[in-house]
Amino acid sequence: MYAMLMGGLLGFASIFLIGLAVGKEPLSALSQASVGSFLCGLLFLWVGQIWIRNVRQMLMEKRQAAIAAMAEAEERKQHDAKERGSKPV
């Protein structure tokens, strides 16, 4: 939601200012800025969802790797304890 609001604000402001800069009437620039606001808001929402999905996936992969490393270390520790217990002194 935040991304959509930021995209809408950015789209409105930039398209309105560009419209005025190229010499359009303020009412025409305002109508174009309204459409630009909607489209930029949707674009930012879409990109934001993709970004959030990728961040979640990355965090999940890191967590799974950490769990696997902990399991491997525990297995190695148990294996070393068995070896030490079976060797004569």
**Residue 71: inside a domain:** yes
Task: With H, G, I as helix, E, B as strand and everything else as coil, classify residue 74.
Answer: helix
**Structure confidence by residue, pLDDT tens digits, 29-82:** 999 999 999 999 999 999 999 999 999 999 999 999 999 999 999 999 998 888
Number of domains, the chain: 1
Maximum C-alpha span of the chain: 95
Reply yes or no on whether the pLDDT at 86 is more than 80. Answer: no
61 within a domain of the structure (yes/no): yes
Range of the domain at 12: 2-84
The reply to whether 75 falls in a domain is yes
The answer to whether position 26 is within a domain reads yes
Token representation of residue 3: 């991304």
In a domain, 89, yes or no: no
Q: Residue 89: its pLDDT value, please?
A: 53
Mean pLDDT for the stretch of residues 5-30? 94
CB 29 within 8 A of CB 12: no
Is the pTM value of this prediction over 0.85? no
